[in-house]
Chains A and B, each alone.
Chain A
Amino acid sequence: MNALIVSAVLGVVMMFSSVWLKSKAAIRNVAIAGMVLLVAVNIMEFCGVQLFHIDTKGMISFDKFALVFNTVIFVSTLLYYLLSARDMEKVGLNYAEYFALIFFILCGVTLSSSFQSLLVLFLGIEIISIPLYILTGSDKRNLKSNEAALKYFLLGSFSTGILLMGIALVYGAKGSFNTEVIDAYFQGSPSVLLIGGMLLLMFAMAFKVSVVPFHFWTPDVYDGAPTVFTSFMATIVKAAVFVAFIRLFDQAFGLLQAQWQLFIAVLTALTLLIGNITAVFQQSVKRMLAYSSISQAGFMLLAVYAMNTDAKEGLLLYTAAYCLATIGIFAVLIKMSDYTFEGFNGLAKSQPLLAATTTVFLLSLAGIPMTAGFLSKFYMLKAAMATGKNLWLVIFAVLMAAVSVYYYFRVIQAMYFKEGEPQQISATASFKWTLIFLAALVILLGIFPGLIIGWLYF
């Protein structure tokens, strides 16, 4: 509850900050301070300190999973601010509003990670989506950005419609929005209404996390949006919706697992296949990362498929690993003038530190041991294996992980083994230190995943 209210208030504060604060540095500092505050109040709630007492009539439940996840998301956003807040200046004139929108998104994230009623889920998803449409189109003079925003808005509202339709059908079948009531034990086969509603909800969520075949918007939107915001969309937002996804299917449709499990398995396989194979053919690192986000979503979908303790722990680790690594790579990418693979040629010579940290992030995404990426993939595979069926899916997933090595390592090869014109990159000392911190975090989580997962059993 703390984080929910504080993030909404912070959004309003940021909106007005541009009226009072003239310098961009001041706005940035307020935003970063606000983010630190958000992390702090969230941890306070975790320790049992409630700042606000509001009766939500059982519509929201801030359980341990939600709180730990929120902490991961907020810390990632804080690191994202530290790395990339400076680069938001280049996007347009409304510097303070960008921060305000991001705080509103975080408010939506808090809702969607802790809902217990389908209405709150809908609210959360919408509060996440609408600021995102604006951020995508924030580069107003760029035609590609406009196109991306329009595309995202049209398809996004369509999927919202499907989400609502699904909620309506489920309500028709069960007479309640509450997840506990929906999942209450019943005899006989589930009604067609319930199954239909569940499928529609699945499609809508699949759209939001860009699962194949609902992924077509992703590359265009990620490519068209200003790169700073792509970084945010591809990591924090995606992770948040994933948590909503797993929460929905765990709490509301747990009993129907037999009905949806194979369906999710097929979606997972398709996502892994299309995401990885298409990423191989990309020439721009930004587009490659867009497709890589699809393929990573495929791996995260394994958690929904397996739906056991390992899966939930693993998803937590996965979101952390994926967010940290991708934010790091994007932070470096934003500094580059050339987004193609050739643009990275010879980076190790001109910027050895940037190259080294990017390598750690790429290794993590590829799932090499001693990085967080490995253990999170490992958790996913372990969870899927524990279901005891569909071994083909697990084998297929690792083969696709091997394919992903191809495009991640292309960047490493460009940086280290190819000669190129050194680019002019302005990296401040604090930027470099944050990158080092991020890389250290990735490695630390790769050796001691208990640093995050342990909090679930605190």
Chain B
Amino acid sequence: MIAVLLILVPLLTGFASFFIKNEKTVRSWALFSSLVTLGVSLTGLIWLKDPKYLSHTCEWLPALGSSFSVKLDGLGLLLTLLNAISFPVIFIATWNTPYRKANNFFALMLLGQAGMMGVFLAMDALLFYFFWELALIPMYFLCSQWGGEKRIAVTFKFFIYTFVGSLLMLIGILYLYNKTTSHSFSIQAFYDAGATLSAKQQNLVFWLMFIAFAIKMPIFPLHTWQPDTYEQAPTATTMALSGVMVKMGVFGVLRWLFPIVSGAAFQWGDFLTPLSIIGMIYASLIALRQDDMKRLIAYSSIAHIGLLSAGLFTQNTSGLQGVMIQMFSHGINIIGLWIVVEWIERKTGTRKLSQLGGLAQTAPSLAVFFVIIALANIALPLTNAFVGEFLIFNGILSSYTQYYLWFTVMAGICIILGAAYTLRMVRKAAYGNTNEITGAVTDISLSEKVALGIIVLLIFCIGVFPQPMLDLTSGVTESIANKFEVIRYPVVMPK
């Protein structure tokens, strides 16, 4: 019931939006729709906890062994909540941004949201693939239609990249499907089939599917689409992309990869963790030299995702728990940063740090919010990111690999680099003397205050009191971690 509504509300309201020609009306309509979705999501989280409300299964393609099966578990609740919170915030923050053909813009945004909801809810591999692609198509049109100058080529690169990845994933899904005893696409059948695979077969499936997730996250060296796309996309779309969509990759690993081919995932951990850490350092160093704020945040996002991926491959409770929290926190924080950048660009017409400065004098409220979100981006204690990153570091330090100390130290360096580039951005944009561009700027209006207020509230709430969120996801985390526990310390049966 709840699960179906989470997909249906944005889907139907999205289609309806195509036909609302008045710009003001369609804005309100989109905001209304996203608030309804948020309401549904909160209802499922707080009041209707009974499993019968949270899952739904009906027949879809019986001949293929696929059914329309959706379910909200801890992981799903967390990410649908992130998805549901993000869109109202995005719509409020960009309330004053003008769009050509606003009806199409908002319709596609809502359809994208519906697609992502489906990804987080699907309990059937074919359905999962369906939504995985459906989330991409609206984003493709959004970026190519409303983006910057080089939008067409850049978005195309993004599309082809992800499309190749998802097609390989489709092969992986089909391969597993042929190994299921009941010829079914249901997640349970996949879990069972994964356990029967030989080591070689596990490796094959692991790589077929992991490439799709790695491109989506993105992990070094598959990240090259990301900075360009974030820079060229309209900022509202960038928020959806970086806030929610990249979590699809992490989510995919947690739901569709680790539980199915845990053996291969364990084996490749020592290869992929260094790759993630190299990506972190590399992205952080590039971020240090960026002049364009959008590119800077894009690279900062790669660095953060690198940490998430390193956290994934710790494959222990602490690391995975950290990943859960950090997925949510990263989404919130980066949307906050984009709101600030979008506002700056709209008011001053530039994103170049070299042309900015002194915004704290002309827009003091903005500066306050900006600093808080920046500090959250650095993961200062009391902010949400601290909880997640602390748990991830704890996880890396206690992980099974013999190189754990190296990994911890190298990842730790990135935290310092992160502080360096984030503070450099704040200093150059908000402090110093005003110039002719920033001198005439007036402070943020009510809609931005509301949006940033929500973000800052969430930052502190999770930072100070993370326990509910930890409780929410602990079940999923435990079950995944246990799978690896069995591999590390196989139980020897007494003869």
Contact = CB atoms under 8 A, between A and B. Distances in A.
B152 A398 contact: no
B171 A402 contact: no
Which one of A313, A363, A402 has the highest number of Cβ atoms from chain B below 10 Å of its Cβ?
A402
Interface string B131-160: 001100100010011000001100010011
B8 interface: no
Nearest to B146: A417
A147 B137 CA distance: 42
Interface in A400-458: 401-402, 405-406, 409, 413, 416-418, 449-450, 453
B160 A405 contact: yes
Nearest to A309: B63
Contacts of A386: 178
A368 B129 CA distance: 10
Contacts of B137: 363, 368
A236 B87 CA distance: 46
B145 A416 contact: yes
Interface string A369-399: 1100010001001100110100100110011
B160 A416 contact: no
A402 B177 CA distance: 22
B174 interface: yes
B363 interface: no
B159 A382 contact: no
Which one of B63, B137, B160, B164 has the highest number of Cβ atoms from chain A below 10 Å of its Cβ?
B63
B95 interface: no
B431 interface: no
Interface in B46-75: 61, 63-64
A382 B65 CA distance: 12
B170 A381 contact: yes
Contacts of B144: 413, 416-417
A453 B64 CA distance: 11
B130 A398 contact: no
B167 interface: yes
A391 B200 CA distance: 14
Nearest to A454: B63
Nearest to A370: B134
B40 to A, nearest CB: 23
Contacts of A398: 167-168, 170-171
A385 B178 contact: yes
Contacts of B130: 369-370
Contacts of B63: 313, 450, 453
A395 B133 contact: no
Which one of A382, A394, A417 has the highest number of Cβ atoms from chain B below 10 Å of its Cβ?
A417
Nearest to B144: A417
Nearest to A367: B167
Contacts of A401: 167
B171 A416 contact: no
A279 to B, nearest CB: 15
B460 interface: no
Interface string B239-273: 00000000000000000000000000000000000
B163 A402 contact: yes
Interface in B166-181: 167-168, 170-171, 174-175, 177-178
A391 B167 CA distance: 14
A395 B145 CA distance: 32
Contacts of A395: 168, 171
B145 A413 contact: no
Contacts of A378: 126, 170
Nearest to B168: A398
B159 A405 contact: yes
Interface string A193-229: 0000000000000000000000000000000000000
Nearest to B167: A398
A406 B133 contact: no
Contacts of B126: 378
A23 B273 CA distance: 76
Contacts of B168: 395, 398
A388 B144 CA distance: 40
Q: How large is the interface on A (under 10, 10 to 19, 20 to 34, 35 or more residues)?
A: 20 to 34
B141 A416 contact: yes
A450 B175 contact: no
A63 B163 CA distance: 39
Given A382-B174, A453-B63, A399 B134 contact: no
A248 B167 CA distance: 31
Nearest to A400: B167
A406 B152 contact: no
Contacts of B64: 382
Nearest to A418: B152
Nearest to B64: A382
B164 A406 contact: no
B151 A405 contact: no
Given A382-B174, A394-B171, A450 B61 contact: yes
A442 to B, nearest CB: 15
A203 B156 CA distance: 38
Nearest to A405: B163
Contact of B178 (A388, A402, A417, A418): A388
A406 B145 contact: no
B175 A402 contact: no
B173 to A, nearest CB: 10
B179 to A, nearest CB: 10
Nearest to B165: A402
Nearest to A356: B18
B151 A399 contact: no
A450 B60 CA distance: 9
Contacts of B177: 382, 385
A417 B164 contact: no
B156 A409 contact: yes
Contact of A369 (B61, B134, B159, B175): B134
A97 B399 CA distance: 78
A402 to B, nearest CB: 5
B125 to A, nearest CB: 12
B159 A381 contact: no
A189 B202 CA distance: 38
A344 to B, nearest CB: 14
Contacts of A368: 133, 137
A381 B159 CA distance: 22
Nearest to B164: A402
Contact of B133 (A369, A409, A418, A453): A369
B463 to A, nearest CB: 39
Interface string A285-329: 000000000000000000000000000010000000000000000
Contacts of A385: 171, 174-175, 177-178
Contacts of A417: 144-145, 151-152
A353 to B, nearest CB: 12
A398 B160 CA distance: 12
A388 B178 CA distance: 8
Which one of B164, B170, B177 has the highest number of Cβ atoms from chain A below 10 Å of its Cβ?
B170
A399 B167 contact: yes
Contacts of B171: 381, 385, 391, 394-395, 398
B244 to A, nearest CB: 19
Interface in B394-438: none
Given A385-B175, A388-B178, A409 B151 contact: no
Given A368-B133, A402-B160, A413 B170 contact: no
A58 to B, nearest CB: 31
B14 to A, nearest CB: 13
A363 B160 CA distance: 14
A421 B204 CA distance: 50
A386 B168 CA distance: 16
Contacts of A313: 63
19 contacts: A368-B133, A369-B134, A370-B134, A385-B174, A385-B175, A385-B178, A394-B174, A399-B167, A402-B167, A405-B160, A406-B160, A409-B159, A413-B152, A413-B156, A417-B144, A417-B145, A417-B151, A417-B152, A453-B63
The 3 A-B pairs at the shortest CB distance, nearest first, are namely A398-B167, A369-B133, A385-B174
Given A399-B167, A417-B145, A418-B152, 5 more contacts: A381-B171, A386-B178, A398-B171, A402-B160, A405-B159
